[in-house]
Structure 1
């Protein structure tokens, strides 16, 4: 039985006290502030994987004890996932995929009936909630304000403009760039009032706070939810799609083993949901990791996780505001966010700042556009002319930020290390810029 004895969340996470080498030859304890990309694994998840491994067998493929045991675990896991996000499996189904990206592509496939159908995405989206809609639909984007927050008036205006023709509003639950959390239930109500549906990309939201899809008869019901286990301390490559059963009327987008009940050279009878949408051998280890992670998150308490991460976020934002030469982006006054902070140091490109943090302090961050280039372009006020120049000359500097993203295990002590290094960089910009401008250190040379 998994229990919590104290509030020290670090004990739940693997690899946090790992010592790593720096280019200078000294060693330091690694600090990971890149949790928005992927999180380390829970120790309990790894324990459960190893504990289950002797019983691992084929799913839906055999009559042996281990096969039946594996199949039972796999199928019963859907209820664990549904309970975690408050989904009703009477009308919805839980489908396992590789990740959020594949889940959105699957929804795009099944919703596409006519090139005249309209999808509304937003300027905030990860490419995975943008590119799958292109080419199959008429696609428009809901605008944002100067701080990167969604413009709900623009959403309403577009829903009114198309008057029932919008098939879906595809919106991120929380931005992977600014951390801004969208009012998804308000958006859902707007969508339903205009005969549309809502898809929430929950990749950045699900690991950081409680989620409620709401009942199907509620105006605030979330029709489609997608998220990935690798961002919630569960590696092994599993993603989740929770969706209305009735949308899966077409042939599956990926076909083959496991998707059919009967096949001849002239006839195909597709299997029932959700099996028909899960082609090939199921990722049972990924599912074991996911439900183990959910068990840990629920035991800790999503409210506790959110409170801790937002406390760290508020502390760091306040400290960064005191450092002259650091520019913050997004709405730094709002608590309606997850623990993501984008910033730049004036006069030092984002990629060099990231190098310095890694090579001087063993601090892992992410830099660039975070697979959300249109959003970053808006936040940085990049002109169409410059974008055209970069298209024609890829050697031009790539716009972007440095991104800090916290997990439940990060500490004030780690944040203090970051602040100390940033102060040193800002105090002696020329030194650090010249030192790392052309410094390309490869820990693992090819």
Structure 2
């Protein structure tokens, strides 16, 4: 087998997506394949690898958007949109397997079955995962309100539909993350339903593979795609080494992922650099913890989240909205550009909350391109109505991403004055806050 340069494949994939844009999805994918075939930097095998990824994407978007010419499935004879599989056959196969598993919990069984009958693609299917199929379980980190573990899943997730055997095939042993759930009832059940639907529909959200249950305490756990690192650790590890192309790609991927959440009429509510995650082998960024609004027993009139990224109206009156997510993106944008956490010297939550509602924002560093300066200021305006919506923001970031792929030289002389004296970085974590007697949010000129 020919040696395929993974970095070259990823770069070609990103470049084609950035440069080829057409409102007609079908024409766009046709133009993308032509673009890849004309790329002289790739070997024949690498071109085939990139095109294979785009063929999968094309099937995915046809089914997700219910857009395209339907064909007659050679197996079930029903109409389907996908070419590499039949979405109807996948759902029927999953339904035929219902009697072969149970979580012994009616709520969980019902939720899994519902997710499976709404499945769109073979490699994004939610299922029941027996605990004994998870090996080498190790504690990783304590999250805001749940412990996170890693494990080796011996079976691995569903990978593709086998047209000959007429069944789903698995990936084989793979590393996964386990997230212990506090409860699956009440508000948490509603959150799970919404979060699982979004994560198993859109590829830019960290995928949830299924549920399992720890027999030592009978607590249910989410089994998720294991990511290599999060944005805060990535920035800290690669400080002063990150190219403009990479920075813009990170911002681009964050905005793309959030656009998928908003497209489903959902609000993330707690977007920060700890739940922006990186998968190295695909060179892609994802967001996690969609719609998770804290512990079930959080007090009334309290808010849950990471204060440094929290919009002033959320701090003031717990007013979550699409526009409060846009504010969080602005803070993330600043963090990526400056390569340091926001409000680094803050030691008092009450003082920081007061500063934010009074208009204090992270100081935009010298050398920051005007286009980003203006965009951040628009997105973190104290008045939510003055912030752009996600589509407007997406269009602007898409144009910036396209420009750097068209001519990287235009960005080589752009240098932000990053503080070289910061060595040890500390971060605020998500937690429950209760603030009283805060003034109405306003803009100000003061920076910290």
Greater relative contact order (Cα < 8 A, sep 6+): 1
TM range (shorter): under 0.3
TM-score (norm 1): 0.26
